[in-house]
Amino acid sequence: MAISKITARALRDAPAALDQASYDGTGALLVPSGTTAQRPGTPTVGHIRYNTTVAVLEQYTTESGWVGIEAAPTISSIALPGTQTAVYQGDIVTVNGTGFKSGAVVKFQNSSGTITNADVTTRVSSTQLEATFPTSVSTEGTYSVIVANPSGLSASLDGQLTVDGNPTWSTSSGSLGTVMEQVALSTITLAAAEDGNSITNFTIVSGALPTGVSLNSSTGAITGTPAAISGDTVYSFTVSAKDAENQTTTRAFTLTVNNNTAPVWTTSAGSLGTINQDGNAITPITLTATDGDSNYVQTMSYSVTTGALPTGLSLNSSTGVISGTLSGYAVDGNITTVSFTVTASDGIDTTARAFSIYVDPGYSQTNSLRFG
């Protein structure tokens, strides 16, 4: 370029040196730009550039290396799940503050200085992040919460988070056993502990126990008498154990209630034979019914529910034996048919059967008995 083309103004506006104190004008100063990967390989303190990866000016510092030139994030508070006052592995911690950039990461620092990233950090907005407490961290104690933006700027809330273990179940999941309808069950006690202390708060959070059965929320005891059902039924339910910090651990259980099978008569219905009124005790007649359930054997009881036994005879409610001495019938030579119904009960269900006895009021020397 001919020297005549260099104007006085151009000379006047050119900086005297690159380190002059200020630059006049209303335009802009163009600085180097590029991605994070394109940063200088051997940066020097004081280098400045525009990082296109995180969309921010950055400078190289002695302490922190490349640091964004922007306002640092702030943390105002944290919120724990529900009513919890402590957290443990997998819990979601909500971090509130300002200046949370896309790609921000929540970190947790213990009292020894060890820092662990959240398993997952989700940016809800520029003022809120959700962080999953690391499943790799099991040490209990007080932790600080750190938010680091992609630019390298960060904020911390010191010693504000308590980490405490969740309740641990000692009762195995799955079946708690099989019980019978309308029979009081033997107490089943659920147990869980946390830091060696027994849990005293149990709640059914899904499913249900059988009607008539309940869970003691303080002791974990399951008690009651299952109501009548029409068929064998498996009840599924999930119980939550809560510790003093309102942390919970759930476990799924089942309880099977069997439908009772009614008693089965082995003594045939109809005539039990002929008895003579001869003044002697009759040969005992034994009525027999069996429990219909092989897995829950119950004691039979017997009762006359319609009609009545011949005068002078009685039925033993425990053994089903009819015994006694026939009396009170006029000696007229006519045989009388006495009909009655006996009901066998296993304590839950009943089965009735109709019987009869022929009464011969005439005195004789024999006691004839016929079994049907």
Non-local (6+) Cβ contacts of 204 within 8 A are 215, 237, 238, 239, 240
Q: Is the pLDDT of residue 16 over 70?
A: no
Non-local (6+) Cβ contacts of 5 within 8 A are none
Answer with the residue of higher pLDDT: 278 or 209.
Answer: 209
Q: Categorize the per-residue pLDDT at 257 as very low, low, confident or very high, splitting at 50, 70 and 90.
A: very high
Q: Is the pLDDT of residue 344 over 50?
A: yes
- Whole-angstrom CA distances from 371 to 36, 206, 272 are 104, 57, 5
Residue type, 282: I
Non-local (6+) Cβ contacts of 4 within 8 A are none
Average pLDDT over residues 36-54: 89
* Distance linking the first and last C-alpha atoms of the chain: 138
Residue 73, classified by CB atoms within 10 Å of its CB into exposed (0-12), middle (13-18) or buried (19+), is buried
Q: Categorize the per-residue pLDDT at 59 as very low, low, confident or very high, splitting at 50, 70 and 90.
A: confident
Mean pLDDT of the chain: 89
The whole model's pTM is what?
Answer: 0.72
pLDDT of residue 12: 47
**CB contact at 8 A, 199 and 152:** no
Taking the alpha carbons of 274, 277, 282, 285 in that order, is the dihedral positive or negative?
A: positive
Q: Categorize the per-residue pLDDT at 292 as very low, low, confident or very high, splitting at 50, 70 and 90.
A: confident
**CB contact at 8 A, 357 and 273:** yes
Whether the domain at 74-163 and the domain at 168-258 fall into the same CATH topology = yes
Q: Categorize the per-residue pLDDT at 11 as very low, low, confident or very high, splitting at 50, 70 and 90.
A: very low
H/E stretch holding 194 reads strand 192-194
Cα 233 to Cα 275: distance, rounded to the nearest angstrom: 48
Cα 90 to Cα 166: distance, rounded to the nearest angstrom: 11
Q: How is the chain split into domains, by residue range?
A: 24-69, 74-163, 168-258, 264-360
pLDDT digits (tens, 9 = 90+) for 200-223: 899 999 999 999 999 999 999 999
The token duo for 371 is 């079994």
Q: Domain 264-360 falls in which CATH fold?
A: Immunoglobulin-like (2.60.40)
CATH number for the region 168-258 comes to 2.60.40.10
Average pLDDT over residues 338-347: 96
Task: Provide the 3-class DSSP secondary structure of residue 360.
Answer: strand
Q: Domain 74-163 falls in which CATH fold?
A: Immunoglobulin-like (2.60.40)
Tell me which residue of 274, 346, 240, 360 sits closest to 303, measured CA to CA: 346
pLDDT digits (tens, 9 = 90+) for 101-142: 999 999 999 999 999 999 999 999 999 999 999 999 999 999
DSSP 66-130: EEESSPPPEEEEEE-STT-SSB-TT-EEEEEEE---TT-EEEEE-TT--EEE-S-EEEEETTEEE
pLDDT of residue 297: 74
Q: Between β-strands 202-207 and 233-242, what pairing exists: parallel, antiparallel or unpaired?
A: antiparallel
Q: Is the pLDDT of residue 364 over 70?
A: no
Token pair 């799940």 is found at: 81
pLDDT of residue 152: 83
Answer with the residue of higher pLDDT: 4 or 361.
Answer: 361
pLDDT of residue 69: 81
